[in-house]
Structure 1
Amino acid sequence: MRGVQIFSGNSHPGLADTICERLGTSPAKADLGKFANGETSVNIGTSVRNQDVYIIQSGSSKINDSVMELLIMISACKGGSSKSITAVMPYFPYSRQSKKKSHRGAITARMLANLLSIAGVDHVITMDLHASQMQGFFGKPVDNLFAEPFIARWIRMNVDGWKDAVVVSKNAGGTKRVTSLADTLKLNFGIVTTDRRRPKVPMTMSDSTVFFDAMDEERLPKDQQPFELHLHSSNPPPPIPEEPETANAAAALLRPETPPAARRPSELEAAYEYTDHRVRDVVTGRLVQGQLVDDDYHPDSGSQSDSTTPGAGGSSSKSAENTEAVPDHMFNSMISNASSVPPDHALGGSFDAVESDDEASVAGRYEDEKTITLVGEVRDRPVFIVDDMIDKSGSWIAAAETVVKRGGARKVYCIATHGLFGADSLDQLEECPSIDHIVVTNTFPISPSMLKRSKKLIVIDVSTLLAESIRRHHYGESVSALFHLND
């Protein structure tokens, strides 16, 4: 292509070489290095005057070096009188920090977008942003490409019996991505969610009972009662009969009851036959320190009979806690709401399911115990657990063990666009017997040693999509066709 210069950063040179090969060109010369004090050095080795410049720089394990290198390359090309500068960022750094998580938190993704604009970028091409609304952070056009067509094509060509499979989201925040892939493949979908386990209240009906009738009939002190004017007459009028609807409305105001659909079913209700057969597709389990354990697992007990060794048991296991007396429905609901621990969110509002995932946690800590729930029928079916990235392994292993040991799934495929694989996460996923394959794209660099030691890892090449987006952008053609590729 004439009038085009494609530069490659040090983050992912292999992807840049593949893109240039598909475009029939080679990466432009640029000397990238560091000074003795660690500062990044960039020297553009070719003329970029009146040229369309494309800089391919994805995230990497040295994320801050990659960001600074990209900013300096943009500034250098801007100073070289380039016609336009497009940053091709398959994995956008700091994409998980796209909103405040505390009062004094920073929206780092927006700050990076501002830095790119100040450096002189004119266009941004990225893939599968963690939050699609991040495109509003930029004052320049953004093309957010999707790897879903390539993932769907790989599934059709390499998975036996994929038409009977189920696409599963491992958190509530990824349901939109999962339902999109399920619609493309015309498959059913499910969800795995984790929630903080509510503590048991050591209280029985014989110990303490709250009588709402007594609370309603209790009168205020005399000095706090409202002023009432009483008129006396020799012939008082007959009392007006109260209409039934008015009486029911007044009773509803005095004694508000929890509607049946708004409260959790009690243990007594769970012991009987379900009235709605769809409820049978809901399977629950226990997560202790990030591990799926038996229902009767007791961490404080040292006896073997209490199942002290963590492991996944059958869903019909009976907990010793079930022998406690159960209060009535209204009292159980009130105690449950009062004893539940509020979510750790300083900004309040609805609980964010994405932040409950261990991949979005900075500290990487586990709650003492959580309840994991599987919604959907996966028995004897392949399962595709889908998310936008794989960083830590905790939530992936928990979801895989839940669908296999509790749901009875036949095979599990962990599928993501960006394979970050922080720390020893790939080795942990490799050792998990419930996971059969790990499928990612090459938007994030994966070292050859990591590829060699993993037998489950499969990498899908998306350089064709990125190369076609560069070609269409250079010639002024529509890029929207790349958002809905026909397989």
Structure 2
Amino acid sequence: MKRIVLVSGSSNPKLASRISQFLDVSLVDPQLVRFANGEIYCEIEKNVRGADVFVIQSTSSPVNDHVMELLIMIDALKRASAASITAVIPHYGYSRQDRKASPRTPISAKLIADILTAAGATRVITMDLHASQIQGFFNIPFDNIYASPVLLEYIRAEIFNDNSIFVSPDAGGVERVRHYAKKLKADIAMIDKRRTGKNVAKAMNIVGNVEGKECIIIDDMVDTAGTLIEACRALKDNGATKVYACATHPVFSNPALERIAGAEELDRIIVTDTIPLSPEGELIDKIHVLDTAEILAKAIHRTFNNDSVSSLFL
């Protein structure tokens, strides 16, 4: 008889708890502890022999600690004779290092893929990869679930109107924006930007007419928010009446929260709970968080039952 087991790491316990509630399956405590020198130790508290195990862990800040936790949990489960081990990674860390952008640099996204597989993961489920080609780095099944149904529902109900236009913050995000615009039958625009350094970008030109429009910027993540605020400023300078931003992953590295709170050009930012907000972030009224637990729970349930998850890719 097939048996499902849910294990949660320390990166996002609230999201894991809500997934557990949707599935009506209790969470197993991996008993993660740290020795005095920082080494991570794990002991799974429940028998998992022959079970299909789903390990829920975002590789968010502190990224390296959470990656090591995930690897150690997977290794413990493999040695405990789990039948399968699916790594459910709502936010896939190192996803921006997906190619050699300059000489003598790593492809860290591929390295993470290799060590997850070596540790014993038999499948990976993630949400809104920064670069779709990362799926090809794996030799095990890989499902990239989209947060767009959750975001679209909020946009349609709360901010979209006949005067709205969707905006891509760069050329690489046009396809993502086109998907949203097609669903709501709206126009699109794009910001031509130049990156001058790591986490540093300067918005240059607006491709498309945003004068008198309510702009909705669509991106996969917000890190330091420098690019986002620059984009908002450029849109307002070109006649936009309101600027909203939607992003799946609220990385929010310093000084993102300070920039968002102080940016008069940004009316509201909508994110999901793939990465938990800090207590400081929860105090900022213009940040609105959407729940992804249901869609991730559906992916887990369908995977466990060998059902199709293709409808979750849309």
With the shorter chain as reference, the TM-score category is over 0.9
| Consecutive aligned runs of 4 or more in structure 1 exceeding 4 Å deviation | none
Say whether 1:188 aligns with 2:20. no
Where does structure 1 lack aligned partners over 5 or more consecutive residues?
196-355
Q: What is the distance in 2 between the residues matched to 1:414 and 1:120?
A: 38
The one-character-per-residue Cα deviations of 1:252-277 (angstroms, maximum 9, x if unpaired) are xxxxxxxxxxxxxxxxxxxxxxxxxx
TM score, norm. by length of structure 1: 0.63
Deviation at 1:371, TM superposition (A): 6.7
Residue in 2 that maps onto 1:216: none
Alpha-carbon separation, structure 1, partners of 2:263 and 2:281:
17
Deviations 1:383-438 (A, max 9, x none): 01111100012211111111112x21111111101000001212211211110001
1:446 aligns with 2:277: yes
Q: Which amino acid aligns with 1:439?
A: I
Q: How many angstroms apart in 2 are the aligned matches of 1:132 and 1:435?
A: 28
| Kept after mapping to 2: 8 A contact 1:166/1:378 | yes
**What is the identity percentage for the equivalent residue pairs of Structure 1 and Structure 2?**
42
The size of the alignment, in residue pairs, is 314
Task: Give 2:286's match in structure 1, choosing from 449, 456, 461.
Answer: 456
Q: Which residue of 2 aligns with 1:173?
A: 172
- State the alpha-carbon separation in 2 of the partners of residues 194 and 135 from structure 1: 27
1:419 corresponds, among 236, 250, 254, to: 250
Cα distance, 1:175 vs. partner? Answer: 1.1
Compare CA radii of gyration and give the structure with the larger one. 1
- Secondary structure of the structure 1 residue equivalent to 2:162: helix
The offset of 1:127, in angstroms, is: 0.5
Change (3 A) 1:108 1:185: same
- Matched letter for residue 118 of structure 1: A
What does 1:136-175 correspond to in 2, within 5 Å? 136-159=136-159, 161-175=160-174
CA contact (8 A) 2:281 2:287 kept: no
Structure 2: unaligned runs, 5 residues or longer: none
Structure 2: which amino acid aligns with 1:12?
Answer: N
Counterpart check, 1:473 vs 2:303 = yes
Q: What corresponds to 1:64 in structure 2?
A: 64
Equivalent residue letter for 2:113: A
Q: Which residue of 2 aligns with 1:106?
A: 106
Shift of 1:448: 3.1
Alignment of 1:56-455 (within 5 A): 56-159=56-159, 161-195=160-194, 356=195, 361-362=197-198, 364=199, 372-405=204-237, 407-452=238-283, 454-455=284-285
Equivalent residues of 1:191, 1:374 under 8 A apart:
yes
User: Letter of the aligned partner of 1:472 in structure 2?
Assistant: R
Q: Are the equivalent residues in 2 in contact too, given 1:155–1:162 (CA < 8 A)? A: no
Q: Which residue of 1 aligns with 2:20?
A: 20
Amino acid at match of 2:288: I
Aligned to 1:54: 54
Q: CA deviation at 1:94?
A: 0.3
Any idea what the Cα deviations from partners look like across 1:41-97, whole Å, max 9, x if unmatched?
111111010000000000222110000000010011000011100000010010000
Structure with the larger RCO, 1 or 2 (CA within 8 Å, 6+ apart): 1
Task: Give the Cα separation in 1 of the matches to 2:29 and 2:190.
Answer: 48
Secondary structure of the 2:277 match is coil
Which amino acid in the other structure matches residue 115 of structure 1?
A: I
Which one-letter code corresponds to 1:475 in the other structure?
A: N
Distance 1:180 1:462, change over 3 A: same
Q: Which amino acid aligns with 1:427?
A: E
Task: Calculate the aligned-residue CA RMSD, in Å.
Answer: 1.5
Structure-1 separation of matches of 2:200 and 2:299: 40
Deviation at 1:194, TM superposition (A): 2.3
CA contact (8 A) 1:7 1:27 kept: yes
TM-score by length of 2: 0.96
SS at match of 1:383: strand
Q: CA deviation at 1:447?
A: 2.0
Aligned-pair CA distance for 1:365:
5.3
AA aligned opposite 1:447: S
